Structure 1
């Protein structure tokens, strides 16, 4: 029984010296993040496929139970829209190979212009992907959430591929107007979609966006605490990523979410202890 929690990144300016030691060389930052959380969203792979040497460094900094949910490159999902993308896909799979089992799922985030009429393209794409990985799909067109026929169509394609549907829950964020610069910026960029809470596989993945105010973030995730506890009791192994507009306290919040679920499922193992930000003293 495992619940993995994490953030949208493993390094952030506001964490330095407060949550994670500072200064740290680039090749140490992920190791220190992994003391706080045991999963991370691989958003950087959307913008550029990393070198194999970079990925080898990620593997060295994390234990075998750490989870990467790595986004497929935008050239595949957004520019070529899942068609004629064999060359960039080969480069991507070769680059991430050193992670081995740490690659929990490969995340296919599709643009808002990807509609239910495009689902056959997704079905063909999923059938051609290497079988040694798990896959998770995030869609953003409202019809997938609001039209039962479109929902069933996508679910059937994902079920055939044993792939998960990744919800990005922004309902708490959009429940009241923004009150900070970070919230105002996120207000213009984040998707505003209906809530989805169903899991398709034994390893559901949830992305949750709260507010910069901790109390509002915690209040908004209460449904996910109960749902996640229920998944664990069913024998599932979920991964939950906690976002806020400024992400200043995201690792703390991710750990708090884990603690709240653990209070309901006492058999759940505790997270690792963070690496101290400074030298230990006797007094």
Structure 2
């Protein structure tokens, strides 16, 4: 069996990447392809704001290999506005829209609001049981009770394990260790959740979201514990996906590859990442 670690970022296009990681002024239909030369996974955050058209999703599939992983977030209308209740029509529309991804839809990501607490787990259980079995599901919770109360932790884990769903930790512990030092960090300081660290995998395909700092060395220092966890998961036969965030995300593609390189230094049998295409420098003529 091939040992494979997937790594990626919170998005596949960012102005700060142009001319560094990807070519300048790429058309929309080429941006994901260029990003996929750096990373083999990406968070599908845009679908949180609206269900895309099938035609748009088909272009994502066309730009990536079948082994590329998109963790696609369910729209906020389903998770935040309706809180998983009376959403059958919205879910059908979303599932139809993302169908062109095929195996690239690594997991459907159910990010729940901070107000969705332990008492709401039966709603989540019912929702997951009604979802089609051909997809994998991964749930991100932000209510503190799920992390600080052992009974609530166990209750959520049981609900997820009953439907083979994963629990996505969003590790912000390194970010919140010291006060912000940039505008991007100050903005993230007020918006990102402060959740206790969780490093438990429920399925064979765990997913981690990690938030570092705008200083690369601080980001690398903060993920050292994850190198141990991810290496252990791979040795157990799991196939993890790790998303590296920083407040400005300016260096995120390189950092994601750096994480992969650090794991591969421990596990040389790990399949390498693709080689990025060289980026031509911007010229004046």
TM over 0.5: yes
TM-score tier, shorter chain, comes to: over 0.9
TM-score (norm 1): 0.98
Match among 189, 192, 197 for residue 191 of structure 2: 189
Match for residue 86 of structure 1?
88
**Could you report, residue by residue, the CA deviation over 1:35-87 in whole angstroms, capped at 9, with x for unpaired residues?**
00000000000001110000010000000100000000100000000000011
CA displacement at 1:273 relative to structure 2: 0.5
CA distance in 1, matches of 2:86, 2:278: 48
Secondary structure of 1:225's aligned partner: helix
1:33 aligned residue: 35
Q: Deviations over 1:3-56 (max 9, x none)?
A: 000000000000001110012100000000000000000000000111000001
Q: Equivalent residue for 2:17? A: 15
Q: Tell me the distance in 1 between the aligned counterparts of 2:73 and 2:189.
A: 23
- For residues 114-135 of structure 1, give each alpha carbon's deviation from its aligned partner in whole angstroms, at most 9, with x where no partner exists: 0100000000000000110000
The number of residue pairs the alignment matches comes to 279
How many Å separate the matches in 2 of 1:180 and 1:19?
23
Once residues 120 and 25 of structure 2 are traced to their aligned partners in structure 1, the CA distance between those partners, rounded to angstroms, is 47
Unaligned runs of 5+ in 1: none
> How big is the shift at 1:101?
0.4
- Could you tell me which runs of 5 or more consecutive residues in structure 2 were left unpaired when the two chains were aligned: none
Per the TM alignment, residue 277 of structure 1 is displaced from its structure 2 partner at its CA by 1.3
3-state DSSP class of the match of 1:65? coil
Moved over 2 A (4+): none
In the TM superposition, what are the counterparts of 1:136-175 in structure 2 within 5 Å? 136-175=138-177
1:275 Cα offset (Å): 1.4
Q: SS at 2:42's partner residue?
A: strand
- Could you tell me which residue of structure 2 aligns to residue 49 of structure 1? 51
| Aligned-pair Cα RMSD in Å | 0.7
Partner of 1:60: 62
Listed one character per residue, the Cα deviations across residues 174-216 of structure 1 (whole Å, up to 9, x for unaligned) are: 0000000000000000000100000000000000000000111
The one of 120, 123, 126 aligned to 1:124? 126
Distance in 1 of aligned mates of 2:133 and 2:66: 20
